[in-house]
Chains A and B, each alone.
Chain A
Amino acid sequence: MKKQAKQPKGPTSRRDFFKTCGTIIAGSGLLAVGGYLAPRSSATEGDSMWQIDPELCLQCGRCQTECVMPVSAVKCFHANQVCGYCDLCGGYYRANVKELNTAAENMLCPTGAITRKYVEDPYFEYTIDEDLCNGCGKCVKGCSSFGNGSLFLQIQQEICLNCNECQIAKVCVSGAIQRVPVSKAYRLKDKA
């Protein structure tokens, strides 16, 4: 650098001049982008997680197949406060079930993730085993069609990798998957 300063003309000093110009332009470019976008982004309340809006979800079945996780990060949640504790549960039994017993062919859930517990006559409590659930949404569809709609799909945030672009959101038929702030990481039906 110092040597070149002594000979102000010539290709080297010209190149240095261009380089300095370039540095300044590139630097101000960075500052411009940063300055333009920084005020619009806040540190805490950013929409930084993906979640399903159960009001929009149509249980198209893509949650099960499109998630990047081997077993989808979407799980069935159960709002007990909304549940009717029905004996003939639309989410538990297949649509035209003959006998109300726990034989496998009567079950709606393909992975056997729903367990049923007798509470008192005539009520039964239903619980989802999230480790088994694959987010297919069959039970949700059943419960929404015949019951109170207390089953609903949610992205289990502990499992979700928080992809930059959720692969399910990209193909969700009803646009139900959106970014939400951390404070509203779940859209629960019983704690609306």
Chain B
Amino acid sequence: MKRLASISVLLMLKARAFAVARFPKPDFHSGYQYPDIVHTVPNETFWSWMDLGILTLMLLAAVWAVHRAKSRRIILGISLVSVLYFGFYRSGCVCSLGSIQNVALAIADPGYHLPLVVLLLFLLPLAFALFAGRVFCAGVCPIGALQELVNVRNFRISRPVTVALGVIPWIYLAFAILYAATRSQFIICRFDPFIGIFRMGGDIGMIVFGVLLLLLAVFVGRPFCQFLCPYGALLGLFSRFSARKVEITSPECINCSLCHHACPVDAIRPPSRSSREEAAGKGIKRVLLYLCVLPLLTVGGALLLDSQHDSLSLANKQVRLLHLLQTQEETATLQMAPEVEAFHEMGGDVQVLEEQVGHIRQQFHLWSLLAGGLIGFSVGCRLLRLSVKRTRKTYEIDPVACVACGKCWSYCPQNKSR
């Protein structure tokens, strides 16, 4: 069987796409001129810097709208611009969400060339979140903006469910990093539900998913942002420590709970009295317990994912190729997968491939440890956060979840009387 395969390989070798000059260059007598075909190149450099400039301007505008003007209308205006420009006109690539993967790959592989614009695309919204909260989500991100614009009602999901589902973005982030760092796939790009809508075409499955999510977004605020977005997870982390928090109202809160019901992402915590009365020692004990569990969860997550690194590595093209080659040999079928055929056609060396795959597997080893650790750690932090009870006298915004959409201000009666 192997024999047969190699014969067909020899035959195919001849068909390679090199320019082979089987026929001499014609010498024309009729004064024929070669046509001059010019292939134009769009000015990609210009456009990427243009996008970055507009992104910065819109971020600044959002900061102003969120912290100074406190105007929901301006935010909606920004959202509309973002959906039209970043979404439909520029059709979404490359965005801050996707840039996570480029950055992860650049960190893992020094040979990867990261364009400066992409790096800035990654850093800018995070830097803004560190100073002014998630203003990027307010209306600058086309994905968030699109969901915001279609949202008409908010059916409240129960809080434990929200908290539990809230770890999905971290898991998503961990896998995105794992697959990007090992040069396997950019899953955030592959599974972006809205890109198909912006481009009005593409993978049917993803478009259906996107439309369903949008329908859901009509009744539940920003489902993608709340339960999927990996960049939102990072933004929330930075926004937790942000120097300037989003505020519902500057006059005193009268605890009317209107904002609480208005918030699309359930980011407003109601006043809670006297959690400290719950026997001071007990609360602290619980926190200490979770603090011990945290490293356990981290290590456990790391080991768990690492134990799967061999099967995870099948997402990589090279690993898959070797796998295909081996199954081909075992089953000895004549029907070759196109990849295998191409491998032989190009005169590929199995030994070299095996070496490469060994190296890739090692990377999977490392990165699945890290990714698993990240997942375990984020689950632990979630537990910890739930266990810390705070005393709140008024309605307060949780900066991690708040996307600075401004709905709460427009509902607050104190702001209206101003």
CB < 8 Å neighbour of A164 from B37, B102, B345: B102
Contacts across chains A and B counted by CB atoms under 8 Å: 193
> Known contacts being A68-B201, A173-B342, is A120 close to B29, with CB within 8 Å?
yes
CB < 8 Å neighbour of B41 from A43, A170, A182: A182
* Contact (Cβ within 8 A) A38 B185: no
What residues of A have a CB within 8 angstroms of the CB of B238 in the complex? 26, 30
| Bound-complex Cα distance A162 to B42 (A) | 11
Query: Nearest-CB distance from A82 to chain B (Å)?
Result: 5
| Bound-complex Cα distance A49 to B113 (A) | 12
* Contact (Cβ within 8 A) A158 B42: yes
User: Which stretch from B93-101, B219-227, B376-384 is at the chain A interface?
Assistant: B93-101
Is B339 in contact with chain A by the CB < 8 A criterion? Answer: yes
Is A46 in contact with chain B by the CB < 8 A criterion? Answer: yes
Is B23 in contact with chain A by the CB < 8 A criterion? Answer: yes
Is B155 in contact with chain A by the CB < 8 A criterion? Answer: no
Nearest B-chain residue to A70, judged by Cβ: B201
* Contact (Cβ within 8 A) A47 B113: yes
* Contact (Cβ within 8 A) B20 A149: yes
- B-contacting residues, A106-153, CB 8 Å: 119-120, 123, 125, 127, 140-141, 144-150, 152
Nearest A-chain residue to B30, judged by Cβ: A120
What residues of A have a CB within 8 angstroms of the CB of B39 in the complex? 77, 154, 156-157, 185-186, 188
* Contact (Cβ within 8 A) A84 B241: no
Query: Nearest-CB distance from A18 to chain B (Å)?
Result: 9
Query: Nearest-CB distance from A50 to chain B (Å)?
Result: 11
Q: How many chain-B residues does the 8 Å CB contact rule pick out? A: 73
- A-contacting residues, B159-202, CB 8 Å: 185-186, 189-190, 199, 201-202
- A-contacting residues, B77-126, CB 8 Å: 91, 93-95, 98-99, 101-103, 106-107, 110, 113-119, 122-123, 126
* Contact (Cβ within 8 A) B130 A26: yes
| Bound-complex Cα distance A145 to B14 (A) | 7
* Contact (Cβ within 8 A) B119 A147: no
Is B417 in contact with chain A by the CB < 8 A criterion? Answer: no
* Contact (Cβ within 8 A) A164 B189: yes
Chain B interface main SS type: loop
| Bound-complex Cα distance A188 to B39 (A) | 10
* Contact (Cβ within 8 A) A78 B37: yes
Q: How many chain-A residues does the 8 Å CB contact rule pick out? A: 77
Query: Nearest-CB distance from A27 to chain B (Å)?
Result: 6
What residues of A have a CB within 8 angstroms of the CB of B116 in the complex? 38, 41-43, 46
Is A99 in contact with chain B by the CB < 8 A criterion? Answer: no
Is A189 in contact with chain B by the CB < 8 A criterion? Answer: yes
* Contact (Cβ within 8 A) B339 A173: yes
Nearest A-chain residue to B29, judged by Cβ: A120
CB < 8 Å neighbour of B123 from A19, A34, A123, A164: A34
> What residues make up the interface of A, taking CB atoms closer than 8 Å to B?
19, 22-23, 25-27, 30, 33-34, 36-38, 40-44, 46-49, 54-60, 62, 68-70, 77-82, 84-86, 119-120, 123, 125, 127, 140-141, 144-150, 152, 154, 156-158, 161-165, 167, 170-171, 173-175, 179, 182, 185-186, 188-189
A-B pairs, 9 with minimum CB distance: A84-B23, A173-B342, A46-B115, A22-B241, A165-B186, A149-B19, A185-B41, A23-B241, A120-B30
Beyond known contacts A33-B103, A40-B113: 10 more, CB 8 A cutoff: A37-B107, A40-B110, A43-B45, A58-B17, A58-B345, A80-B34, A141-B15, A144-B15, A145-B15, A164-B189
A-B contact pairs, 21 of them (CB 8 A): A22-B241, A26-B237, A30-B123, A30-B238, A41-B106, A43-B115, A44-B45, A47-B115, A49-B44, A56-B346, A68-B202, A80-B35, A85-B26, A86-B23, A119-B28, A140-B17, A158-B41, A164-B102, A170-B185, A173-B341, A186-B39
